[in-house]
Structure 1
Amino acid sequence: MTSPDGDERGLVLVVEDEAPIADLHRRYLTREGYGVHVVGDGVAAVAAVERLRPVAIVLDVGLPGEDGIWVCRTLRERDDWTPVLFVTARDDEVDRVLGLELGADDYVTKPFSPRELVARVKAVLRRRDGRPGSPPLEVGAVRLDPGTRTVTAGGAEVPLTVTEFNLLEALMAARGRVLGRSELLATAWGQGDFGGSRTVDVHVAQLRAKLGDHAPIETVRGVGYRVLPEGR
């Protein structure tokens, strides 16, 4: 169902099969000015994304039938990069890493407070917003435009998640300088946002895979990452 109580911040799609949990998500998100639409299974989630074009998706992994992993994979295969916040039932690193590799932007592990969920949604959307007037960054064959939030490599556009884009922007803006994982977490995820060093490593691996031979990111063992000043 769609909540009528305010949608000035955009519509959030909540994909959750347990009605009491879904209602709790809806109430807290509505209080913050988001419209909310709730569905309870993966097939309905994909259809709702195509029909409603939400600003973000709160996606439970453990859905009946087609699960949250299937939903995220299906959307990304269709070049739909709507921000996805995974909700997992246990603190399992394998689940989290798989979700990030599929293109999720963040995750929370049950049990969590509704306020934390809202904070994560806000953080993902804050990281998504472009900055008109900011000059493009270029390193080798890679070009990043903060205003339009687009990235090209070798002249071809490269689709990135919100988090992948911000991570690449942080590295390119600091070209030649080594950024530690904690610094990247603070810069790309935002002060007070949540994450861990493994999260950074997974996103860097995804960036390298998407940029292919043009990827300018170098690992500095034991320290972090940097973008080579002249690219590759």
Structure 2
Amino acid sequence: MTAPLRLVLAEDGELLRAGIVALLEGYDDVDVVAVATDYDELMAAVDRAEADVVLTDIRMPPTLTDEGIRAAGHIRETHPELGVVVLTQYADAEYALDLVAAGSQGRGYLLKERVAKADELVAVLREVAAGGSVIDESVVGGLVSAGSRRPDSALSRLTPRELDVLTHVARGMSNQAIAATLSVTDRAVEKHINSIFAKLDLPADSPLHRRVAAALVYLNDVGTAEPPAGSMPGTARW
């Protein structure tokens, strides 16, 4: 039998915190081993509990600004094997970039609306705990058009076809899936992606996974924004 996923939950909102705990109680393979309501409590819980993954709000006491992002950075240094999924109310570009600044492995960034979909949330927690990277699709794919319209955008270096390919990369699609969607060969997609990496100045030894970094160029150009109406629901995985 697979060992339960050991989770530390950090959320200062009483109702949401109780709701997440109640949802996860329905899964025998998930064990909430500690609950925190602020940054200091989260750090203490991480040091105390032998957890696999942290699920944390992005904003908690004492400052209600970026505690979740700062916690993820500290955990990267002190418990590098521990995955962290950050919950946010809006598709905040700067925070998404900060979260993966030291590497995208074992990091997730989700809109709070995903919490209601318990199966999806548990799948994300497991993937991040295993070292994967999951970023809410609304954070990347939904901001593509706004980013491409900026005259000083790095995206202006791309051809229309390359921008189309990068849109699908931002949604977490594989080369094969992109090829099928665009009715081109896998080799053609690979050539487009290599050209995208070169034009966006993403070197082979980049500390970020280059597919994640390429997708997040959108966010770097767009800045902070709420998820646009009609954006595709789901998560992007790399």
Q: TM-score, normalization: structure 2? A: 0.51
1:123 offset after TM fit, Å? 3.1
Instruction: Write the mapping of 1:63-102 to structure 2, written as runs, cut at 5 A.
Output: 63-65=60-62, 67-102=67-102
Distance in 2 of aligned mates of 1:29 and 1:62: 21
Aligned with 1:58: secondary structure? strand
Specify whether residues 8 and 208 from structure 1 end up closer, same or farther in structure 2 by C-alpha distance, changes over 3 A only: same
Contact 1:105-1:163 within 8 A present in 2 as well: yes
Is the 1:28–1:115 Cα contact (8 Å) retained in structure 2?
Answer: no
**Match of residue 121 from structure 2:** 120
1:14 touches 1:57 (CA, 8 Å); kept in 2? Answer: yes
Identity of aligned residues (%): 15
**Contact kept? 1:105, 1:124, Cα under 8 Å:** no
Equivalent position SS for 1:101: coil
Structure 2 portions without partners, runs of 5+: 135-164, 176-192, 215-238
Do the aligned partners of 1:61 and 1:68 also contact (CA within 8 Å) in 2?
yes
Q: Match of 2:25, SS?
A: helix
Q: Which has the higher strand share?
A: 1
Greater helix share, structure number: 2
Q: 1:28 aligns with which of 23, 31, 40?
A: 23
**Aligned AA for 1:162?**
G
Quote how far apart the aligned CAs of 1:45 are.
0.9
Question: 2:127 & 2:81 partners in 1: Cα distance?
Answer: 15
Bigger relative contact order, structure 1 or 2 (CA pairs below 8 A, ≥6 apart):
2
Q: For the Cα contact (< 8 Å) 2:85–2:108, is it kept in 1?
A: yes
Contact kept? 2:127, 2:133, Cα under 8 Å: no
Letter in 2 for 1:101: A
The 2-side partners of 1:57 and 1:93 are apart by 21
Q: Distance in 1 between matches of 2:128 and 2:13?
A: 29
Alpha-carbon RMSD: 3.8
Alignment partner, residue 10 of structure 1: 5
Q: How many residues align?
A: 149
Unaligned runs of 5+ in 1: 1-6, 130-160, 165-179, 189-196, 222-232
Cα distance, 1:187 vs structure 2: 5.2
